[in-house]
Amino acid sequence: MDLQAQLPKKHLCKDCDKWYGQEDDEYGPCMYKHFRKEKRYVTYGYHECDEVEELERRVKMWKDRASESSKSETSPPRSP
């Protein structure tokens, strides 16, 4: 299944803590791509993230948050 589709909104390069771009020029290096020594590791900030490791981490984090909030909404209030 598409990992981007499992997120509440598309995860863009500029939203990632592994992207070190400038807001002014909208381009910057992706640390995932840099670590793999890809020749073209500079990405456009509004590009949809294509790093599986990052997207899997984001999906897991989102699902964990959703399950925590649903548990707190359905559990009875604690007595004082």
Domain limits for position 36? 4-70
Given a cut of 80, is residue 70 above it in pLDDT?
Answer: no
CB-count exposure of residue 46 (10 Å: 0-12, 13-18, 19+): exposed
What pLDDT is stored for residue 64 in this prediction? 93
Classify residue 79: in a domain, yes or no: no
Classify residue 30: in a domain, yes or no: yes
pLDDT tens sequence across 7-42: 999 999 999 999 998 777 789 999 999 999 999 889
Classify residue 62: in a domain, yes or no: yes
Classify residue 26: in a domain, yes or no: yes
| Counted domains in the chain | 1
Classify residue 14: in a domain, yes or no: yes
| Dihedral angle over CA of 12, 31, 51, 66, nearest 10 | -60
- pTM score: 0.74
Classify residue 76: in a domain, yes or no: no
Specify whether the backbone of 37 is left (phi greater than 0), alpha (psi in -120 to 50) or beta: left
